[in-house]
Amino acid sequence: MVNEEAQAASAAGERARAGTATYIAFDVAVVVAMLVVGYAVRRHALPSTSLWFDDAWVVAGAMHFTPSQLIIAGSAHPGFTTALRVLDEVFSGNVGRLAYLPFVAGCVTGPCIYLWLRDLRFARSISVLLSAPVVIGTIPVLYSGRVKPYT
């Protein structure tokens, strides 16, 4: 009798683990789909040659500051200004590529919101509905190619 109960409990545990694996696979599929869709709708938002005029002043402070001037040189948050400076060093002066920072941030924001809501135990449907506007919304897509601290 005890052995039968142990086997039943073991079988129930196996079914629960199999169900959890299915849910994890679904979450991974949603995140990958959001990343692909986010990239697909944003790829035309990147500048083709250089930056827009009003983006250039944000980059100018980031490209020409010294560490002692971090607070006063950039017009943006010091962390954003530092990130732009690091990208400027990596891409060695190609200012058009500095738009990659907000582009990547725009692509990963939707999946991050989905995962955060799932971590807070929201239902999958609610998590998708609340994160989808960031993935495909007109304004977030438009500003994903702009070098602004609020993108």
* Residue 70 CA: distances (Å) to CA of 51, 75, 82, 148: 22, 10, 8, 17
The yes-or-no verdict on residue 128 having pLDDT over 90 is yes
In the chain, DSSP finds a helix count (H) and a strand count (E) of: 7, 0
Query: For 38, phi and psi rounded to 5 degrees?
Result: -60, -40
Is there a contact between 96 and 51 (Cβ–Cβ < 8 Å)? Answer: yes
Q: Whole-model pTM?
A: 0.74
Q: What is the largest CA-CA distance in the chain?
A: 79
Where residue 1 falls among pLDDT bands split at 50, 70, 90? low
CA distance 15 to 23: 12
CA distance 89 to 133: 33
Q: Tell me the average pLDDT across 78-101.
A: 80
Amino acid identity for residue 144 in this structure: S
The yes-or-no verdict on residue 33 having pLDDT over 90 is yes
Amino acid identity for residue 10 in this structure: S
The yes-or-no verdict on residue 109 having pLDDT over 90 is yes
